[in-house]
Each structure stands twice: as C-alpha cells, then as structure tokens.
Amino acid sequence: MQSITVLGATGSIGVSTLDVIARHPDRYRVFALTAHSRVDELAEQCIRFKPDVAVVGTAEAASQLSARLQSAGLTTQVEFGEQALCDVSSAAACTTVMAAIVGAAGLAPTMAAAHAGKKVLLANKEALVISGQLFMDAIAASGSVLLPIDSEHNAIFQCLPLNYQRQLGHHGIRKILLTASGGPFLDRDVSTLDQVTPEQAVAHPNWSMGRKISVDSATMMNKGLEVIEAHWLFGAAPNQIDVVIHPQSVIHSMVSYADGSVLAQLGNPDMRTPIAHALAYPDRIESGVDTVDLTKIAQLNFRPPDYLRFPCLKLAFDALHAGGSAAAVLNATNEVAVEAFLDRQIGFRKIPELIDAVLNRLPVEPVTDLGAVLAMDKSARLLARELMHQ
C-alpha cells in the first residue's frame, strides 16, 4: 500500500492523480493533500479521500479549511506554509510524493521529498530546471526513485532500456526526440501574434491544462523547459535532444537508437496514463483512459520547430548551453512574463523579449546550493518586473 502526498491536489495533475488513486483503493491511500488557496475544492477532496494532513498557503485559508472539515466530522490535520509542504513531503508515513505544484513554488517540497528518499513522481518540471544537478544529486544520495510525469518524459522513460543509467552512448542511443503539439498558434500568421489574447493562448487544441502551462505551450517555453528537464533526467547533451512538432499529440515522444530503430510511446492525450504508469511502476494498472484507436486517426504529421514563431524554445536551448544559473533565470523570468501576460500587462510577443533581456543582463553563475539558486531566482524576478515597467 503506497501512502501518497499530492502536492497541488486541486490542479489538473492533482485531480487526475486522485482519479487514478480512487480506482485502486487496494493499492493507494492518501496521506496528504495540498493546495494554495482553493479551499472549497480542497475541502471536497479531503471529505472524499480523508487524508491525515491538508496544507494550504496561508493562515486564513487554513482557518477556513479547518472549519469546513470539522463541520464534516473529519480529523484531518490542517497546516499552512512552505515548511508544512516540506513536512508532508518528507514525513515517515508518506511513501510517494506527486510533485504537481506549478512553478518555482514547488522546488522546496519536491527537494524535501528527494532528500527523504521518497518515490518522487515529478510533474513540476521547474524544480528540476531550476536546481538541475542539485536535485539529481539529492535523488542519488537518498536512493529516491524518480519517475517523470510529463507525458513526453514519461514516454521517453518507457522507451528506454530498463537498466538505463543516464548515459545514452552506453545503451546505443543516438537521440531523444521530444514531440510538441505546437499549441494553438502553430499555423497562425506570425505577424499577428502580438494581438493574441490570454483567452486564445490558454485554449490548447489537445490538452486540458492550467493557465500558466497552457501559455507556456503556446509560446513553446513548455517544450524548452522539457528540453532542460530531459537533459537532467536522461543525461542527454543539448545536441542529443531534438524537438519535433507533432500536432496530433498521439506520439508522446521517441528514442532513436544506433541500429536505426526509433521507439515511440503512443496514447490518447490524457495525463492519467503517465500518472498510472508512474504510480504502479514497474506494474501496469487501469488508468481510466481508452486505448488509442489508430484506425480512426487519419494521419500523423511531423515538422521541425520554427524559432521565429517560437523564440522561447531557442532561448531555452541557449540557457541549457550556457549552464549554471541560466536555466533558473529563464524559468523565473518566464513565470513573471506569463503572469503579466495573463493579467494583460504585456503582450504575447513581449514574453520572449523580456526573457531575452533578463538573460542578457544577469551573469551566469555556478549553482552551488539551493540558497544560490533561490537568490538568482529572486534577482531574475526583480529585474524582470523592473524592465517590464520601463
């Protein structure tokens, strides 16, 4: 019986995780559920799954949640704040952590789970993008099991040898091929992209996701962050990672081998598939997702990415080549820029412009510890906001 902490329980990944868990009460129990401010949704989840602990972002939210749960007769302990997130991620009673808090806010609790030797189901790509080697070192030192949840990285994981040790050449692997849908603006006239509205940017053609990650998909920064994540997860050099536009989102990613074979993982675009795979690994369980019917798919298309249309993707590759703190700066500035776009403070095309400006102004520094990473993250955010208002 796995005892699971779900970080970001009210988000799309958290909801999908709980859907899979509910299908297998004999295999999984919920130890803790967390959310920042969605008290009503979290209360409903607590009433259904009866976790030992629930964590929210503020004391006010904790008071509201406590009242809701007490009136429902639950004994769930309610906590708040970042330390509480770290506590439920490293608690002895927890065996598995679904790391699904969006953005840099998920770094500390995800790192806490890694240090504590938990089975870490990584849906928060930013934690790995920001901390890189520090995160992988923590996983190795504690003996933690790290399983990727991103559909692309989970697909790659499924196509790699069972004994894979983060060395492509030793396993006869040429390249990792990350597929990308291209988002809602794949065929839109580039000259009109500065007119894109938040509503248009979050309307992904294939996936149901949160607003921030939907905008990242529209700019393809999401794919850029996945390139950096793939570098750390699989030990792949930048020139061993290719991005392939695949609008149908049926092939979730591929691995190219030295003998000419290309292995691909296919499936319907539903995050419950990689979640179920990671929860049960190395077993397979029912996820609630129908098997893809290839006879109903008219065609599968592929094309290379266009950096003029998707400059954020090139910025991510540039940050990966630069190393050090560059990826943390990239991620922090992107979070500020996307939030500003969603709040209608800047235009869609200003997102990559702001990221480029901050990357050019902040020097690349070595990533020596978590404190240094967080300091660089803070510096990038401050500079991004300063430049945004000039």
pLDDT of 265 over the 70 cut: yes
- Assigned domain for 196 exists: no
User: Hey, which of 125-134, 198-207, 271-280 has the most confident mean pLDDT?
Assistant: 271-280
Tens digit of pLDDT for each residue in 148-191? 999 999 999 999 998 888 889 899 999 999 999 998 999 999 99
- Mean pLDDT score, 94-112: 92
The larger pLDDT score, comparing residue 110 to residue 206, is at: 110
Report pTM.
0.91
The tally of domains found in the chain comes to: 2
Tens digit of pLDDT for each residue in 267-320? 998 999 999 999 999 999 999 999 999 888 878 999 999 999 999 999 999 999
- Mean pLDDT score, 244-254: 94
- CATH code for position 329: 1.10.1740.10
pLDDT of 123 over the 80 cut: yes
- How would you class 370 by CB atoms within 10 Å of its CB: exposed for 0-12, middle for 13-18, buried for 19 or more? middle
What pLDDT, on a 0 to 100 scale, did the predictor assign at position 190?
A: 92
- CATH code for position 128: 3.40.50.720
Across the chain, mean pLDDT equals 94
Name the pLDDT band for 41 (thresholds 50, 70, 90): very high
How many Å apart are CA 226 and CA 310, to the nearest integer?
14
- Which of 148, 177, 201 is the C-terminal boundary of a domain? 148
- Assigned domain for 78 exists: yes
Share above pLDDT 70 across residues of the chain, in percent, rounded to a whole number: 99
Structural domain harbouring 342: 323-390
Q: Which CA distances in Å does 73 have to 58, 67, 70?
A: 22, 10, 5
pLDDT of 216 over the 90 cut: yes
pLDDT of 205 over the 90 cut: no
Closest CA to 84 of 68, 101, 70, 69: 101
DSSP secondary structure string for all residues of 24-53: -TTTEEEEEEE-SS-HHHHHHHHHHH--SE
- Which of 120, 148, 176 is the C-terminal boundary of a domain? 148
The larger pLDDT score, comparing residue 183 to residue 65, is at: 65
What pLDDT, on a 0 to 100 scale, did the predictor assign at position 208?
A: 66
- Assigned domain for 106 exists: yes
Q: Which CA distances in Å does 274 have to 282, 285, 315?
A: 12, 11, 28
pLDDT of 126 over the 80 cut: no
The larger pLDDT score, comparing residue 342 to residue 207, is at: 342
- Assigned domain for 131 exists: yes
- Assigned domain for 351 exists: yes
- Assigned domain for 280 exists: no
Helices (H) and strands (E) in the chain, counts: 16, 11
What pLDDT, on a 0 to 100 scale, did the predictor assign at position 105?
A: 84
- Which of 148, 176, 207 is the C-terminal boundary of a domain? 148
Closest CA to 388 of 337, 312, 335: 337
What pLDDT, on a 0 to 100 scale, did the predictor assign at position 207?
A: 66
Tens digit of pLDDT for each residue in 319-341? 999 999 999 999 999 999 999 99
CB atoms within 10 A of CB 303: 11
- Assigned domain for 238 exists: no
- How would you class 96 by CB atoms within 10 Å of its CB: exposed for 0-12, middle for 13-18, buried for 19 or more? buried
8 Å CB contact between 293 and 250: no
- Assigned domain for 116 exists: yes
